[in-house]
Chain A
Amino acid sequence: MKNNIKYLAVLALGLFACEPEFDNPIDESGTYSSGSADFTTFVAVGNSLTAGFQDGTVFRSGQQNSFPNIMAEKFALAGGGTFTQPSYADDVNDTGGFLLAGNPLPGFDTRLVIDASQGRPENLNVAPTAEVSSLQATAYNNMGVPGAKSFHLGAPGYGNIDNLAIGAANPYYVRHATTPNATVIGDAVSLNPTFFALWIGNNDILSFATSGGTGVDRTGNPNVLSYGFNDITDPGVFAFTYQGLIDALTANGAKGAVATLPDVTSIPYFTTVPYNPIPMDAQTAALANGGYALYNGGLQFAAANGLITADEAARRTISFSAGQNAVVIVDEDLTNLTGSGIPSYRMATADDLMVLPSLGFIGTFAEPGNPASINGVGVPLADNWVLTATEIQLVRNARTAYNNTIVAIAAANDLAVVDMAVKLEELVSGLRTADGQIYTNNYFDGSSDAVSTAVFSLDGVHPNSRGYAIVADEFIRVINEKYGANVPRVTAGYYPGVTVVPTN
């Protein structure tokens, strides 16, 4: 009997100690690997997309979900080291936005949130606390600088606080440039990266696009000093700059991944507002048409006199009818008839893209109380509200040239190419992730489904945290394939999307 008890006790103890162990536990070393890459020092260089910018700013909690930071968390399982990001410890209330010498910095407002009481996005009504003049003077693994164009990354003084006033510096980079005349790429390379991500060039076309094409296409003009903020960068400048960036990043033999630039039609900033958002009944349409009788008559006069073709006259003729109507826009690419007192108007078509801010502008009164002054009907929309088909073509031409450069230089340096252009294009028809969820490029529509599935932030241009997880996952997929690495993938559905507040 005594022996029996002893035996049972031993048996029991042996079994107690027996936690369920997998045949191949993933927390064992060797499960994940970097393949022929080396993730010890991962440095990400780029713009807002790399910085984790979303909802119109960089805010503390959002920055945690920058795509390179998500990648670094996964790299950590495959030999990756620590990954540092610019400090937002002074963004005490997680609002984003900047102060300069204690005053709110114009153009760098707090993050966008949905105000549930108004049902619309608004800048979070909490004072920002992050101060531009608190200089960190540190090179970080995340060298994404919001707003940077390709050539800014190598521009000395881009992080010099004294250059802010003349518009030659960027407050994001000012906060962490190692010296006033340091360059973004110089700071990045100072970390001796063993692996890098480079996603740059978006702003070289995007500021032109988001401005509704108010800038100038600088193709053929290599003098960047002559460029305005909303201009399209010369593809020659882009290629030269890009080669320089890759040369710097690969100087020590680092491997890396570069990303292509998505089309404007992939982002909700251009796809949310339809070209024909104006509902009318027959009576209203007749009234609105009356307002353009003179203009339409002028077109017929101009056509009859050979100033414009009959085709252009037809394209420019303003005609409303019962149902959904296109907005009337100013198009500076039409034949200039102002000498004859005929303005450059036409109705928008499906080939034009209305910018997101026009959502709150179309249908408002230009003159309070004057129903003939409805913006988009009686008062045509100015250039900045619409990216016309002609302007879209300029953006596409430049983008195609940039992407060709990116792919060619990556090939020459045997780098992984993350085709974000294609990935974001998938969002247009619906991108299905491994868990079965389908994501689109729709702007947040207020539905509870969109709370779980929106992947673009409220600025309409940048992904939200969930969207950045999709970006990180695509980078990892391509890196695994290119370098024979085995880095775990990312589930976008676990990452947050829109922030909704009861009131603001």
Chain B
Amino acid sequence: MKKLLLVLTIAFSASVVYAGGYRVGVQGHKQLAMGHTGVAVVTSAESAFFNPAGLVYLDGELNVSLGAAVVLSNTSYQNREFGYSAEADNPVGTPFYAYGAYKINDWLSAGLAVYTPYGSRVEWPTDWDGSHLVNQIELSAIFVQPTLAIKISDKLSIGGGPIYVSGAVNFNRNLSRSLTDEAGNRSNVTIDASGINAWGYSVGAMFRPTEDINLGFNYRSKIDMDVERGDGTADFENLPGALAPGFPDGDFTASLPLPAELTFGASFKPADKWLVAFDYTRTFWDAYKSLDVQFFNSAGLSRNPRNYKNSSIYKIGAQYDATQKVTVRAGFYYDESPIRDGFFAPETPRPDSVNFTAGFSYNLNSRWAIDASVLYVHSNEVDNSYDHFVEAGQKLTFGGEYKSNALVAGIGVSYKL
């Protein structure tokens, strides 16, 4: 299994996108198809992410789930007053997951989870009207989480484990609204860093009062991704000759929080072959106060207030065993934007969204199953602005109407022994 993980990690080293802020909610096709519920669901090794405490209740000695998805996302921007319009044609994102759980004995299970819950990939046309805020950005983070789950009784279990994160960032924007070199090319900077490491943890508990009802709780800690000096490069391009000596390429420091997430939920079996699940997730986005990038040349400290607020996701999903071989699933979730009015920056243009999911599993035999899911993310048109770009001591506004949508489609396999 380890070998397989390694291969996946390499193949999808640029993982990525979707959900409020820069959260990417694609952590398992079975659960994604059910509206990304799962804190109180025990069906596969996907529980390693959704609620480690559930692993002890899995059937079988060894459970493995692997999968990947493609994320197609687009954002349109327009400003009626000034006649500006632009479309972010975002590169395809490829989030993935790999979960394994092994039942050591009746009361103890061990697992390993590898997943990509955060990322963002937004590519606006170079030098567009908001290019002083962002031309393009790519964030990615791979989480590796060794997990232990302990059955306290047939009704109660707990689980958790440390999380090791490896992240990367690549971000380009123009240095100001008007600065160019002598040939008229806009002055810009690209910051790039990869292999940024950090640690966190995930803990969960599951309570099964009856055969048909499951309650679950999961908490994933905040993880600060700190770029230290020497971790990355800051590449300054197209400065006019008179200013270029003040802007040599170099390194930078920055910090981006991956916020803590608290989920609790319930699942129950209303009838034979049916499973219904509800999850509520609170994401503590208030950790994201400001994206501050410290350069070590004339660019100095770039302060970009974000001032995110905590946000909620309300999820519902159901599955139905249509035949012995086929299980179908569908779900819905409502994802609140953590972005306050006046802080709507085009690098994470995430308004509130309604999300529709569907999918199925096809059991090839008693051990192997194919899992597939699709997610359609719909956001209403929003009219918002970012009012905290500072030029010559004045806070400037950049805004307009934004509309985005995204489609996620993916496939994976599950194995049970």
Interface residues of A (CB under 8 A from B): 1, 4, 8, 11-12, 15-16, 18-23, 25-27, 31-32, 61, 74, 77, 114, 116, 434-438, 449-453, 466, 488-491, 493-497, 499-502
Contacts and interface: CB of A to CB of B under 8 A. Distances in A.
Given A15-B376, A19-B76, A20-B76, A490 B82 contact: yes
B374 A11 contact: yes
A382 to B, nearest CB: 35
Contact of B178 (A21, A436, A496, A501): A496
B295 interface: no
Interface stretch (B15-23, B198-206, B264-272, B388-396): B388-396
B72 A489 contact: no
Nearest to B391: A452
Contact of B243 (A434, A449, A466, A500): A500
A12 B409 contact: yes
Interface stretch (B103-111, B255-263, B313-321, B399-407): B399-407
A116 B407 CA distance: 52
Nearest to A23: B381
29 contacts: A4-B326, A4-B328, A18-B407, A20-B75, A20-B76, A20-B404, A21-B403, A22-B381, A25-B78, A61-B184, A74-B83, A114-B242, A116-B242, A434-B397, A435-B396, A437-B391, A437-B394, A453-B392, A488-B82, A490-B82, A493-B177, A493-B396, A494-B129, A494-B177, A496-B178, A499-B182, A501-B182, A501-B241, A502-B242
Nearest to A25: B78
A27 B84 CA distance: 9
A20 B362 contact: no
Contacts of A451: 176, 179
Pick from A31, A77, A449, A494 the residue with the most CB of B within 10 Å: A494
B148 interface: no
* Secondary structure of the B contact surface, majority rule: strand
* Secondary structure of the A contact surface, majority rule: loop
A144 to B, nearest CB: 22
B398 interface: yes
B358 interface: yes
A22 B403 contact: yes
B106 to A, nearest CB: 36
A488 B176 CA distance: 22
Given A32-B83, A493-B178, A501-B241, A26 B78 contact: yes
A32 B81 CA distance: 10
Interface string B58-92: 00000000000000101110111111110100000
Contact of B407 (A1, A4, A12, A450): A12
Contacts of B381: 22-23
Contacts of B326: 1, 4
B240 interface: yes
**Which 7 A/B pairs are nearest by Cβ-Cβ distance?**
A488-B83, A449-B392, A500-B242, A20-B403, A116-B242, A493-B177, A502-B241
B325 interface: yes
Contact of A491 (B82, B182, B401): B82
Given A26-B78, A493-B177, A449 B393 contact: yes
Interface string B177-196: 11110101000000000000
